[in-house]
């Protein structure tokens, strides 16, 4: 039985990945931070097979203890301060957790391997936010990184640190450059879920509109359930490497609104959407579109859920939640 340790196991990706690994027969360990964290109880209910370990990416000793306790074959480092807008207000915390935390996790794994001689494969959750002010369209593994937020800068640090540990110590450390990926489990602060929840409430006459920031930004949105499969595939390769994971399609926030409102039969949403500067960012990433041909060729990975299916799935889920 293979063993896997997931940091960030209570997040959207952590939950999908835990399910995938459990289905594949892994013993799944999840790192959860904080005292009396309510997400821990929730996870224990929905994913009872996950063995929860206490630890924090800022606390190297806690990571060393977690790794030496579960002796994982694979470590998936998904934990991060992940909301881009928040990262301007909490730039130091974001740098420490989202950037420095990767270094701590790599060190914990290296320490364990040195001590025991047991090989551990490492996955780092890198992000399309690293492309920021894009220097090439579409973005691929070789595209120059130009992050536009403290979050993006922190992710660049973690990305290069992962490559550095691979090159310096021969670690099987891979980095997945994942473009935006969403699901009904997405946090309500992210734009797709903010829209799907609002549209569901509008449909049920519980609210009459929503406020958003920049409607012209474009993102390459895929389904999180598809993307965790790519993470696993990366760690099954004989050689570690970096891969862009994306759909190759880009859509604006306006396109997102078109599909979400269409799901409840509304064709003109203009009266229901207010523009509010508080949701605009000090520096915006205008256009993301990924070229995932390397992942398709080497990993045999393809996304299954389309943008339209994804947004409709999220709206339908949020309507069903309200009805429940
Ligand atoms: O924003 C615009 C906003 O917060 C998407 C994270 O998972 O993906 C995510 O980062 C776009 C931006 O995601 C609102 O300005 C307009 O252009 O859903 P988001 P994100 O910033 O792209 C990457 C790959 C990650 O790695 C991150 O961890 O939507 N937008 N109006 C808005 N965004 C939000 N949140 N709220 C608005 O009202």
CATH number at residue 214: 3.90.25.10
Of these residues, 74, 129, 182, 263, which one is catalytic? 129
274 with 131, same domain? no
0.85 surpassed by pTM: yes
107 with 152, same domain? yes
Q: Measure the CA–CA gap between 152 and 158, rounded to whole angstroms.
A: 10
8 with 143, same domain? yes
Atom 8 in ligand 1: which residue has the minimum CA distance?
180
> Domains in the chain: how many in total?
2
Confidence of residue 54 (pLDDT cuts 50, 70, 90): very high
Q: Quick check: is 148 in a domain?
A: yes
pLDDT digits (tens, 9 = 90+) for 214-239: 999 999 999 999 999 999 999 999 99
Q: Quick check: is 300 in a domain?
A: no
Confidence of residue 92 (pLDDT cuts 50, 70, 90): very high
Q: Measure the CA–CA gap between 226 and 118, rounded to whole angstroms.
A: 30
123 with 215, same domain? no
Query: How many residues are present in the chain?
Result: 324
Pairing mode, strands 172-178 and 181-182: unpaired
Average of per-residue pLDDT across 40-45: 95
108 with 226, same domain? yes
Confidence of residue 61 (pLDDT cuts 50, 70, 90): very high
pLDDT value, residue 295: 99
Phi, psi (degrees; rounded to nearest 5) at 203: -60, -35
Ligand 1: distance of its center to the CA of 253 in Å?
Answer: 10
Q: Quick check: is 88 in a domain?
A: yes
**Has 168 been annotated as catalytic?**
no
195 with 262, same domain? yes
Instruction: For the beta carbon of residue 105, count every other beta carbon within 10 angstroms.
Output: 29
pLDDT digits (tens, 9 = 90+) for 109-158: 999 999 999 999 999 999 999 999 999 999 999 999 999 999 999 999 99
Q: What average pLDDT does the chain have?
A: 98
155 with 204, same domain? no
172 with 48, same domain? yes
Q: Is the CB of 39 under 6 A from ligand 1?
A: no
Pairing mode, strands 172-178 and 218-219: unpaired
Q: Is the CB of 86 under 6 A from ligand 1?
A: no
Q: Name the percent of the chain lying above pLDDT 70.
A: 100
Classify residue 315 as exposed, middle or buried by CB count within 10 Å of its CB (0-12, 13-18, 19+).
buried
The domain of 233 spans 3-182+221-245
pLDDT digits (tens, 9 = 90+) for 15-28: 999 999 999 999 99
Q: Quick check: is 65 in a domain?
A: yes
**Has 128 been annotated as catalytic?**
no
Q: Quick check: is 293 in a domain?
A: no
62 with 157, same domain? yes
Q: Which residues pair with 212 in a beta bridge?
A: 275
């Amino acid at each position: 039985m293979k063993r896997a340790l997931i940091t960030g196991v209570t997040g959207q990706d952590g939950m999908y990945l835990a399910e995938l690994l459990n289905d594949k027969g892994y013993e799944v360990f999840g790192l959860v931070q904080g005292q009396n964290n309510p997400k821990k109880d929730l996870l224990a209910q929905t994913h009872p097979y996950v063995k929860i370990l206490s630890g924090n990416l800022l606390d190297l000793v806690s990571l060393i203890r977690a790794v030496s306790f579960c002796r994982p074959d694979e470590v998936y480092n998904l934990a991060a301060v992940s909301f881009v807008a928040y990262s301007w207000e909490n730039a130091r915390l974001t740098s420490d957790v989202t950037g420095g935390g990767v270094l701590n996790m790599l060190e914990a794994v290296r320490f364990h391997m040195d001590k025991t001689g047991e090989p551990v494969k490492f996955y780092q959750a890198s992000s399309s936010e690293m492309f920021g002010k894009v220097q090439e369209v579409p973005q691929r593994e070789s595209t120059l990184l130009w992050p536009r937020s403290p979050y993006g800068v922190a992710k660049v640090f973690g990305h290069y640190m992962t490559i550095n540990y691979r090159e310096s110590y021969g670690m099987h450390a891979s980095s997945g450059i994942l473009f935006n990926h969403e699901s009904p489990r997405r946090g309500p602060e992210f734009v797709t879920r903010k829209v799907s929840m609002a549209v569901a409430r509008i449909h049920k006459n519980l609210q009459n509109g929503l406020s958003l920031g920049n409607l012209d930004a474009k993102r390459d949105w895929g389904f999180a359930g598809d993307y965790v499969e790519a993470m696993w595939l990366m760690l099954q390769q004989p050689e570690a490497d970096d891969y862009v994971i994306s759909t190759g399609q880009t859509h604006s926030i306006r396109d997102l609104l078109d599909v979400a409102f269409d799901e409840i039969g509304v064709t003109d949403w203009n009266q229901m959407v207010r523009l509010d500067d508080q949701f605009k960012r000090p520096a915006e990433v205008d256009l993301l579109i990924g070229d995932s041909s390397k992942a398709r060729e080497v990993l045999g990975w393809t996304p299954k859920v389309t943008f339209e299916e994804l947004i409709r799935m999220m709206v339908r889920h949020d309507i069903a939640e309200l009805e429940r």
